[in-house]
Amino acid sequence: MKHTRILSITVLFISIATASPHIKNSAPEKQIGLFKNSDPRLNGIKYANWGSRPFEYYWAANVVDVKNKKVLDLGVGIPSQHHWYQYITRILSPNYYVGIDADGRMKNEEIHTDGYDMLNMDMSSLSFNDKTFDIAFCISTFEHIPYPFLMKSIQEAHRVLKDDGVLVITLDEHWDKNLALDHNNGWNDLEQSIMNTELCKVSHQSFGLPDFLDIVKEYFIPLTEDISIDLDRKVIFSKKTGQPYYQRQNRDPGILRSQIMYNSCVSYAVLKKKS
């Protein structure tokens, strides 16, 4: 039963995956996995989530080639508090960059320039035309919205990306299933809204990147071809070599984790549109 499940997902990915003109680093482990302590260029970053944000944006902006591309950043944060967009707009030269955020404070902080915009907008209802963008980032944001809004946002991202567009995501993950489903225990909105449903059972390991990929698979699939997902064990691995790209283990000293919650990490993935 388990083998059939793994196989069917593998076949799906083999048949649909193709190369992307936007990708800079085609190594599968650079496109899907968990940030590790051993990742180069962490530059003194000691823990995941907030502390790893500069690295997350560095990774996101370097796994794909944003130069001369149209880039959308979903849930970018407000300019007075989040400066990551400046790294991309000033140094990496996209053709156009727009960061959007639904935070009400963004209304007073909108930026409009020739090269980039920062706008107050809800990602579940985007005001952009179909097939406008080459690349969409969503950095540590999808896990913060409840399931119905997530699915609307995924549909919107699918709509505004060009056919060969890519969606670049990171997710903050907490996975101590013994802790009550509560913000104080690190559970995010998406996790809270789907745990103990058919989408994600708390009796398994808790929500993570494999569940996310399963939820969005009608709209987005991993860009890399070399991938299999075992939803029961919550492991993502190379179908060629069996090498795990994503495997959470409690108290794994190799995983870049939060300073507060021991069993936490940040996962990442580069996805492509399913046609």
Residues at the site binding ligand SAM, with contacts judged by CB under 6 A: 53, 75-77, 82, 100-103, 122-124, 139-141, 144-145, 149
Q: Is the Cβ–Cβ distance between 22 and 64 less than 8 Å?
A: yes
Of 150 and 229, which CB lies nearer to ligand SAM in the complex structure? 150
Query: Could you give the CA distance from residue 74 to residue 141 in angstroms, rounded to a whole number?
Result: 8
Of 150 and 213, which CB lies nearer to ligand SAM in the complex structure? 150
Closest residue to ligand SAM, judged by C-beta, is 75
Residue 234 CB, nearest distance to ligand SAM (Å)?
A: 23
Of 8 and 185, which CB lies nearer to ligand SAM in the complex structure? 185
Of 122 and 164, which CB lies nearer to ligand SAM in the complex structure? 122
Cα dihedral sign, 191-197-207-211:
negative
For 249, the token pair is: 């283990």
Residue 101 CB, nearest distance to ligand SAM (Å)?
A: 5
Which residues partner with 230 through β-bridges?
A: 235
Of 66 and 235, which CB lies nearer to ligand SAM in the complex structure? 66
Residue closest to 99 by CA, chosen among 61, 65, 48: 61
Residue 263 CB, nearest distance to ligand SAM (Å)?
A: 19
Residue 89 CB, nearest distance to ligand SAM (Å)?
A: 14
Residue closest to 224 by CA, chosen among 71, 64, 67: 64
Q: CB-side exposure of 74: number of CA atoms within 13 Å?
A: 35
**Could you say which DSSP state residue 138 is in?**
E
Q: CB-side exposure of 5: number of CA atoms within 13 Å?
A: 10
Compute the CA torsion angle 134, 137, 143, 146 (nearest 10 deg): -50
Of 149 and 207, which CB lies nearer to ligand SAM in the complex structure? 149
Query: Could you give the CA distance from residue 169 to residue 142 in angstroms, rounded to a whole number?
Result: 8
Of 14 and 260, which CB lies nearer to ligand SAM in the complex structure? 260
Residue 188 CB, nearest distance to ligand SAM (Å)?
A: 9
Surface-to-core class of residue 44, CB atoms within 10 Å of its CB (0-12 exposed, 13-18 middle, 19+ buried): exposed
Residue 228 CB, nearest distance to ligand SAM (Å)?
A: 29
Residue 242 CB, nearest distance to ligand SAM (Å)?
A: 32
Query: Could you give the CA distance from residue 210 to residue 155 in angstroms, rounded to a whole number?
Result: 19
